């Protein structure tokens, strides 16, 4: 994880023996293709120096080998943050101490408050005994919806039994990271002239600029709108599902929709604004990781 802080329970803080259980937290993320670069061409560099040997004239810089991320990496709003929690029994097999009822809990502190996280397998049973050199594993997943600093707080609780004496022990670790926006969205709403055959119905054009704020290309899966009551929408964007736009870092793409009032329907007008639609954007990273975002309700000045 990015940064780690530890808070020990009252037993550890009072000068008791070191904890029998250690906690390891590993972020789960997709691997990437490893690069296959060699040093600039000289006669002394053999073809075998390539991670995956190719013809010397082949300019493709990647090999078919997968590489795990060397560090925490960036966390982006709209993606799913996943990590595995491992509580390990660090006692030697000859230790007279027995570790029982090991439990894990986690919460995510976000700018707007705290969120209790559910824990998933592979170990379906919580609160079980752990033998020396064994581990209890749990997985947490959370879709990031706010940018800014985040803190993953993990609490470990267990019991130590020795010579018919049982002590309950606990400690807590904090893991800090920052969630960054993946796509920048700038929207604009304008009025269109009504059609001649329906002069009493209002028409609008909704425009949006999408900017890739990540460090890798992204593939736009789809861009849609959810209209408010009394409106229909028509997309002015790509139609071929096999020809999805690719945005390189810092690239900007324009999308647009026509919104039209349904004849005879009333529009939602609140606080001097006509509520129109929400914009939904779905994308994928180069290794297939999904991302999505939804804007707030967009509107136009009421008549």
- Global confidence as pTM: 0.77
Q: Does a structural domain hold residue 272?
A: yes
Give the model confidence (pLDDT) of 36-61 as tens digits.
Answer: 655 555 554 555 555 545 554 555 56
- For the chain, the domain total comes to 2
173 and 116 co-located in one domain? yes
143 and 193 co-located in one domain? no
* CATH at residue 26: 2.60.40.10
Mean residue pLDDT across the chain:
84
Query: Tokens 């849609």 map to which residue?
Result: 224
> How many CA atoms within 13 Å lie on the side-chain side of 47?
6
Tell me if 297 sits within 8 A of 276, measured CB to CB.
yes
296 and 176 co-located in one domain? no
For the segment 258-279, the average pLDDT, to the nearest whole number, is 90
- The Cα-based distances of 106 to 26, 101, 160, 291 in angstroms read 14, 17, 22, 23
84 and 176 co-located in one domain? yes
177 and 295 co-located in one domain? no
189 and 293 co-located in one domain? yes
Q: Does a structural domain hold residue 172?
A: yes
Q: What is the DSSP string of 252-296?
A: EEEEEEEEEEPTTPPP-EETTEEEEEEEEEEEE-TT--EEEEE--
Q: Does a structural domain hold residue 41?
A: no
In b/e form, how buried is each residue of 82-119, taking b as 16+ CB within 10 angstroms?
Answer: ebebebbbebeeeeeebbeebbbbbebebeeeeeebeb
Indicate the pLDDT class of residue 17, thresholds 50, 70 and 90.
confident
Which structural domain, as residue segments, surrounds residue 247?
183-301
204 and 241 co-located in one domain? yes
257 and 296 co-located in one domain? yes
* CATH at residue 232: 2.60.40
Distance, first Cα to last Cα, the chain: 52
25 and 96 co-located in one domain? yes
118 and 8 co-located in one domain? yes
Q: Does a structural domain hold residue 224?
A: yes
73: left (phi over 0), alpha (psi -120 to 50) or beta: left
13 and 151 co-located in one domain? yes
Q: Does a structural domain hold residue 60?
A: no
| Calpha distance 194→96 (Å, rounded) | 84
Which of 49-53, 139-143, 154-158, 170-174 shows the lowest mean pLDDT across its residues?
49-53
């Amino acid at each position: 994880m990015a940064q780690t802080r530890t808070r020990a329970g009252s037993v550890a803080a009072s000068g008791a023996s070191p904890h029998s259980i250690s906690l390891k937290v590993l972020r789960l993320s997709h691997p990437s293709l490893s690069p296959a670069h060699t040093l600039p061409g000289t006669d002394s560099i053999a073809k075998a120096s390539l991670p995956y040997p190719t013809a010397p004239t082949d300019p493709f810089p990647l090999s078919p080998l997968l590489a795990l991320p060397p560090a925490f990496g960036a966390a982006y709003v709209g993606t799913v943050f996943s990590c595995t929690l491992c509580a390990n029994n660090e006692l030697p097999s000859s230790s007279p101490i027995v570790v029982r009822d090991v439990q894990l809990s986690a919460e995510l502190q976000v700018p707007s408050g705290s969120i209790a996280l559910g824990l998933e397998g592979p170990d379906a049973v919580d609160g079980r005994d752990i033998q020396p050199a064994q581990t209890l594993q749990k997985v947490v997943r959370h879709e990031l919806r706010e940018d800014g600093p985040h803190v993953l707080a993990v609490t470990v609780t267990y019991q130590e039994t020795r010579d018919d004496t049982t002590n309950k022990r606990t400690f807590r670790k904090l893991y800090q990271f920052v969630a960054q926006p993946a796509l920048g969205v700038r929207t604009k709403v304008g009025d269109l002239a009504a059609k001649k055959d329906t002069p009493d119905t209002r028409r609008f054009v909704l425009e949006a600029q999408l900017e890739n704020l990540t460090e890798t290309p992204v593939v736009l899966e789809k861009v849609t709108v959810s209209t408010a009551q009394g409106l229909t929408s028509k997309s002015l964007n790509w139609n071929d599902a096999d020809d999805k736009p690719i945005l390189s870092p810092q690239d900007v793409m324009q999308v647009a929709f026509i919104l039209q009032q349904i004849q005879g329907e009333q529009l939602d007008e609140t606080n001097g604004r006509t509520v129109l639609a929400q914009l939904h954007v779905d994308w994928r990273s180069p290794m297939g990781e999904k991302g999505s975002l939804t804007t707030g309700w967009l509107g136009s000045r009421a008549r």
